[in-house]
Structure 1
Amino acid sequence: MEHFSQFMSATLNVFEAQKQMAERAVAQVSDEGLRTALDAHTNSIAVIMKHVAGNLISRWTDFLTTDGEKPDRNRDDEFVDTFSTREELLAYWERGWSVLFESLNSLGPEDLKTTVYIRGDAHTVPLAIQRSLGHTCYHVGQIVQVARIQADDEWNTLTIPRGQSEQFNRERWGEGKPGK
């Protein structure tokens, strides 16, 4: 039980951190910037967010009992910007994350032994969780990168600012190095 609790706590923590990072990046981008792709071969932030939310809804709705690729999912439509406003986009984004968090919070230790399916392929529950986490992190990285480019000189860093690692470490640990 302890390992299950630690695993789920860590999983929820990383998903939440990724959600917050994306949202902090998106907050720095204009409405127009959300909808602007860097070139004809890339997706806008709005499209990436729509895809992430659609994926989370499909994968995590009835997670233990139905294939993660739901019959009513239109994945190709996720790559078309169809939201009229930022608020509509953010509401859909929030819906995806809510489905994920509700499903993860409903899991018990015995569920880790369950086999689930994604596009007909068998996955252990831990593998399906890690697959979703990896997919989400990949796209959050895209959101942050595109947001950084869109925000240009107005960007506020989401992590330790470039060239300030030593200062951060001193503030965190004082003059000594961590672990010493």
Structure 2
Amino acid sequence: MDFPENYLSNVKFEFHRYKTMGDATFDQLSEEDMHWKYAETDNSIAVIVKHLAGNMLSRWTQFLTEDGEKSWRNRESEFVDSLTSKEEILAYWEKGWNCLFTALDGINTSNFDSKIKIRGEAHTIVEAINRQLAHYPNHVGQIAYIGKMIKGNDWISLSIPKGGSDAFNKSMFKSK
């Protein structure tokens, strides 16, 4: 496998991994939980989803041919909690991720050396993807942390739970 194929396969895996973490968080939360904020100045999960999906739609729509900061994007409005139902929040979440994965599927060896613009600044494909691969996990981590704060002792860990490292490692090394 050459570098472009290996790289694209890996970034798709990582983006899917973070989407799955968000999905597993949402599965544990009620509609009311999606709008909960620790303090008035904080963002709710609904707002974080709105920002994340807004960024994805802007960055990945016509990824290869248009600037990643679209004229139709209103970033400031992403921080207003206006998605009312859990279904609406999850639909917007899916719309953003679908846009991302569709764009990634459109990258191949024939266009891998293209330059991508974000706010007028040229990026290689790798730079543009890495920029978002650094951004999105930050917000998914916020979503998971807020979910954990809400659920408390009822939280179902998204990774190896506290106190479970030894058992996890034993099971991993046994299977090899």
TM-score (norm 2): 0.96
Question: Aligned letter for 1:34?
Answer: M
Q: For the residues of structure 2 that align with 1:38 and 1:150, how far apart are their CA atoms?
A: 9
- Aligned CA RMSD, in angstroms, stands at 1.4
CA deviations 1:100-144 (Å, max 9, x no partner) are: 000000111232211111111111111000001111011011001
Give the aligned partner of residue 122 of structure 2.
122
CA deviations 1:17-63 (Å, max 9, x no partner) are: 00000110121122111101111221000100111001000000000
Give the aligned partner of residue 110 of structure 1.
110
Give the aligned partner of residue 150 of structure 1.
150
Alpha-carbon contact 2:34-2:46 (below 8 Å) kept: yes
Structure 2, unpaired ranges of 5+: none
Give the aligned partner of residue 35 of structure 1.
35
Q: For the residues of structure 1 that align with 2:56 and 2:79, how far apart are their CA atoms?
A: 15
Q: How many residues in Structure 1 have an aligned counterpart in Structure 2?
A: 176
Is 1:164–2:171 an aligned residue pair? no
Give the aligned partner of residue 15 of structure 2.
15
TM-score (norm 1): 0.94
Structure 1, unpaired ranges of 5+: none
Give the aligned partner of residue 55 of structure 1.
55
SS of the equivalent of 2:110 reads: helix
Is 1:72–2:54 an aligned residue pair? no
Q: For the residues of structure 1 that align with 2:32 and 2:171, how far apart are their CA atoms?
A: 38
Alpha-carbon contact 2:30-2:86 (below 8 Å) kept: no
Question: Aligned letter for 1:99?
Answer: C
Q: For the residues of structure 2 that align with 1:129 and 1:50, how far apart are their CA atoms?
A: 20
SS of the equivalent of 1:38 reads: coil
Q: For the residues of structure 2 that align with 1:113 and 1:174, how far apart are their CA atoms?
A: 42
Q: For the residues of structure 2 that align with 1:118 and 1:90, how far apart are their CA atoms?
A: 26
